[in-house]
Amino acid sequence: MSLATQQTASIEPNAEPSTAPTLKLISNQVNSTAGQKCIAEIRAKLSSKTRNPAYIYNKILNTRQRKTLCFSAGLTRTDLQTPFEQLSDDSRLAIQKAILLCGHLFDTFNQAQALDAKQYVKCK
C-alpha cells in the first residue's frame, strides 16, 4: 500500500481504500505549483519596467504606431527616431495628450457604433 493510499485509509478506517481522492489531491498540488509559476511569470511581465511609457514607446509600438502618435502629438520626424527617454518633457507630455485624445476619439466612435468598415465605404 502506498503512502498516499495509507493516508486515505487512516482518514477513513472503515472505508475501503480509494486512490481517487488522493490522486486528486496530488494533482492539485502539482497544478498549484504550476499556477504559482505562471503567476510569477505574469507579475514579472507586468513589472514596472514593462508598465511605463518609455518601454511601450521604444519596444512595443511599431513604426507606424509611433508615426501616428508623433504626428498626433505635433512632433517632428527627427523626434520619431529619438528614444522616449531622450525626448524633452514637453514632447513626452504631448505624446501623453495624444494618447488620451486617441482614446477619446475611439470611445466617441465606439459609443456611436460607428467603427464598422462598411459604414465608411458606403458613406456618401
State the cell numbers at 31. 497544478
Looking at per-residue confidence, does 117 or 15 come out higher?
A: 117
Percent of the chain with pLDDT over 70: 71
State the cell numbers at 83. 528614444
pLDDT (mean) for 10-30: 51
Looking at per-residue confidence, does 113 or 32 come out higher?
A: 113
Are the beta carbons of 95 and 57 closer than 8 angstroms?
A: yes
Query: CA-CA distances (angstroms) from residue 98 to 24, 44, 69?
Result: 53, 28, 7
pLDDT (mean) for 72-99: 96
Q: How far apart are CA 18 and CA 20, in angstroms?
A: 6
State the cell numbers at 29. 498540488
Q: Please state, as a whole number, how many other Cβ atoms lie within 10 Å of the Cβ of residue 22.
A: 19
Tell me the domain boundaries of the chain. Answer: 22-47, 53-120
Query: CA-CA distances (angstroms) from residue 67 to 44, 50, 64, 71?
Result: 29, 21, 5, 6
